[in-house]
Amino acid sequence: MKILRYFLIIALIALVVIQFIRPDKQEGNYLAIDAFETETNMPAEVRAIFSNNCYDCHSGVTTYPWYADIAPLSYWVNDHIEDGKRHFDVEEWNNYSLKKKDHKLDELIEEVEEGEMPLKSYTLLHGDLSDEEKELLENWAKEARTQIQREMVVQ
């Protein structure tokens, strides 16, 4: 019983200490997002979907939920954001080649079709995309891919 008590005291102290050691928060670039939206001819409905469901993890423009200030959840949220940006960072869009842009949009379509995006851990707290929103995203991404593929042929 004494060992359990000491363990709980040490765990409580550790939990309090990690509250003061937080990961850095993202400070995004709205201009880079504007460039992405403009180049891909993103309609307002799709912008709203991205703003509400995608940019938090796929850009540096993150709206942090209240629990992102509580460790260890702050580390979990930060890991999701870093992983999301590693896979697709809209702020890097202008640095992608046409081939990579085409590939990223293809991945987006696939992830949405298969229900992999947004992540289940995100949708549990923030809600999922409706079928109509998924269709809007997929159609927009397919149109954007077609335009990029035309540009690739010209080059």
Give the chain's mean pLDDT. 86
Highest mean pLDDT among 3-12, 48-57, 79-88, 98-107: 98-107
pLDDT band at 153 (very low <50, low <70, confident <90, very high): confident
- The single-letter code of the amino acid at 53 is N
pLDDT band at 105 (very low <50, low <70, confident <90, very high): very high
Q: What percent of the chain has pLDDT over 70?
A: 97
Neighbour-count burial for 117-155, b at 16+ CB within 10 Å, e otherwise? bbeeebeeeeeebeeebbebbeebbeebbeebeeeeeee
Judged against a pLDDT cut of 90, whether residue 4 lies above it is answered with: no
| Burial degree of 97 (CB within 10 A; 0-12, 13-18, 19+) | exposed
Helices (H), 19-91: 30-39, 44-53, 55-58, 73-87
Q: What percent of the chain has pLDDT over 90?
A: 43
